[in-house]
Amino acid sequence: CDSILILDAFALERMTALSNDEKIDELLRRSRSGGIHDFGGQGPEGSANWNTGKPIPACLLLHDLEIGSIPYSFGSEPRFATVTELDLSGNCLRILPPNFFENMKNLRILFLGGPGPKFTPEGATCNVLETLPSSVSYLAYLEHLSLHDNQLTELPNLSGCTLLHTIRVDRNPLRTLSDLPASLRVLHLEGCPLGGTLNHPENLPEQVRSLTRLEDLQLPDGSHLGEFFGTPLPSLLADQER
């Protein structure tokens, strides 16, 4: 990502001098007010009015800050247990700390994709994550996982996230899929180099073919099928076997 925020010399020197906890606090002060899905109603950078010593907001909006990296112990400190919704999209992130999810066990919604398709001007600040910490697999309350427009080639096993209903991994160079939870209702795979089309759903990865409750499955070519579109995947697969 070529648009990482360029700090002036004074700001860079100050950030370098900060301890890890101070770096985290500095980042938290930039959080926005509003709801994670309230895109038109979110406040500007810093509008959450967070200060050191206050509880971390349950809805932590840190998107579009172009920070380039995350302080090492972000997410692993006990104070992050309050966070249920987290948006870190649009930050040019290349890697997440290995213990990132250690104390965010109550996380329900996680946005790490976007802000737009990476080949558009809106996507110039997209994260470019190549891997996720394996501990994402243990987020028992996770419902929505947005990872679109990164550089992921594989996903951790998410079958244990039994409340997960939405995954977006569109426009990632995925080579393979790990096991996915049966609870999934929405799965977006547009632009992923995986098999499967509307006419040949039998070429979808086995992990997708086994999902029987999908309402919206976006295929690698961008077309949609599922209960919502009147084309349930199990029926299409059964038709192919006749």
* Token pair recorded at residue 226: 């599922």
Residue 6: what pLDDT?
A: 45
Strand partners, 74: none
Contact 205, 184 (CB under 8 A): no
At residue 49, the pLDDT reads: 97
pLDDT in tens, 115-168: 888 888 888 999 999 999 999 999 999 999 999 999 999 999 999 999 999 999
Token pair, residue 139, equals 């987020």
Residue 127 CA to residue 148 CA, distance in Å, equals: 9
SS3 call for 217: strand
pTM for the structure as a whole: 0.91
Other beta carbons within 10 Å of 166: 18
Distances (CA, A) of 240 to 200, 215, 237: 8, 20, 5
